[in-house]
Amino acid sequence: MKQMRRGFSESGGNGLIFNKPKNNTTKIVIQRTIIRYIPFILLSIVIVIFGLFVPHFLTTRNIINILKQSSVLGLMAMGMSEVLIGGGIDLSMPPIIAFGGIIGSMFMRGGGNPLFACFIMIIVCSLGGAINGYAVAYV
């Protein structure tokens, strides 16, 4: 008896024909693809619903405002990705950034220079991160 390759069976003639594998690989691929794109589909649905029912949602000014506000979250996510890829879990970064933002806004509210406020925020966040890093590594 001939040795047959997996997934193939002998036809009555002179060649081999492909039989479907026993596991449902196409079904699994379709499920994974749907799961992968669910966030984008839901986001599209939300944008369409808000665009239809909220009068000024799809204006250029609002879209630019949304992108400006989400840029901070994107920068934080990139920083957190580096920490997680490196093998550590540091959940203290968002509160430290929020604390630095509060200190900087208090300085600007008092009439301070915005560029100097950015410098103060960087110093406060770096100091908070250094203290937390020391506590995690040595305490």
Looking at residue 110, the DSSP 8-state letter turns out to be: T
Alpha helices, H only, 54-92: 60-85
Q: How far apart are the first and last CA of the chain?
A: 69
Cα angle, residue 57 at apex, residues 51 and 61 outer, rounded to 5°? 140
The confidence score (pLDDT) of residue 2 equals 53
5 pLDDT above the threshold of 80 = no
DSSP reduced 3-state for 41: helix
pLDDT digits (tens, 9 = 90+) for 32-80: 888 999 999 999 999 999 999 999 999 999 999 999 989 888 888 888 8
Alpha-carbon span 72 to 55, nearest angstrom: 26
Q: Give me the DSSP letters along 117-134.
A: HHHHHHHHHHHHHHHHHH
Alpha-carbon span 34 to 28, nearest angstrom: 10
Cα 94–chain centre separation: 15
Confidence band for 100, pLDDT divided at 50, 70 and 90: very high
Q: Is 118 exposed, middle or buried (0-12, 13-18, 19+ CB in 10 A)?
A: middle
Q: Which residue has the tokens 């600007």?
A: 108
Structure-block tokens of residue 115? 């560029």
Structure-block tokens of residue 132? 């937390």
